[in-house]
Amino acid sequence: MRSAFDYPELRHSRLSPAIKALHRAVNGSKRWRLAWTVCRWANRLEGGPGRGATTRDLLRDHHQVEVGAYAYGECLVPGRFPPQVRVGRYASISPGVRVYNQNHPTDWCSTHPFFYDPRLGVVKQESLPRHWLEIGPDVWIGRNAVVTPGCRRVGLGAIVGAGAVVTRDVPDFAIVGGVPAKVLRYRFDEATRDAVAATHWWERSIEELSSDLEPLTEVAAGDALRRRFGLDTPPADTASPGLGHAVSSEFSTSVQANGVG
């Protein structure tokens, strides 16, 4: 993922250097509540959490959490996500979501973090492996869902139901729910999934997308997305039957029953 500076739509306040200095002064890397207060000030100055660059810089530089433009929610609160997490653009992370990319040791004499977490002041460096967790663009993770170390990737446009416990990777555009989480269905048929992925629409700013919202706000055929983003339209016999096939009454009932929200 590119740094916050590589996204021109993110805003840096003229006070950004002072805000970063304040974060250092209050030892925000360890004092997370104070860090969150600093980040909220920065967000107010920079157009809200979806557009603020300073908070993203602080998370990246001091917490090893990288958050793309327009993503919002728990991922922007210092200390809520562990180090080595990347969150894609336009991701929606609901309250209470927790992610983990490191387990307690199960084959040591003790399972206590005193013996592997340097932040607790006993050991000098982290001695347990931790992997990068990738949360893709336009992902929606519902309230109080948990992502465990068994998952390394939540795919593009995926939906994780409220209260789900994710123990393995989530495919692109999948809707998962339950304990442990299982694929309930896919948001779109395969042809439409390919069409949506090919647009890379999430790489564009909201100002660019606002000029023509119809392909993104309607239950539309894959062809409409391809035309909107200047892609070649597939032959008629292979064209996508459209999102309407996926968004049926059965789909709505399934989502509501499994608590996606």
Please tell me the distance from the alpha carbon of residue 172 to that of residue 248, in angstroms, as a whole number: 20
CA distance 121 to 116: 10
Phi and psi at residue 11, in whole multiples of 5°?
A: -110, 130
104 is catalytic: yes
Candidates 104, 112, 131, 245; catalytic one:
104
β-bridge pairing 85-87 and 65-67: parallel
DSSP H helical ranges for the chain:
16-25, 32-45, 53-63, 190-199, 206-210, 214-217, 222-228, 249-257
Q: Are strands 85-87 and 146-147 parallel, antiparallel or unpaired?
A: unpaired
Name which of 133, 193, 135, 194 is nearest 159 in CA terms: 135
Q: Say which residues have a Cβ less than 8 Å from residue 127's Cβ, sequence separation at least 6.
A: 115, 116
Question: What is each CA distance from 110 to 102, 107, 115, 116, 161, in whole angstroms?
Answer: 16, 8, 8, 10, 34
Asked if residue 140 lies in contact with residue 88, where contact means CB atoms within 8 angstroms, the answer is no
Q: Is 80 helix (H, G, I), strand (E, B) or coil?
A: coil
Q: Which of 179, 104, 184 is nearest to 146 (CA)?
A: 179
Q: Which residues are catalytic?
A: 104
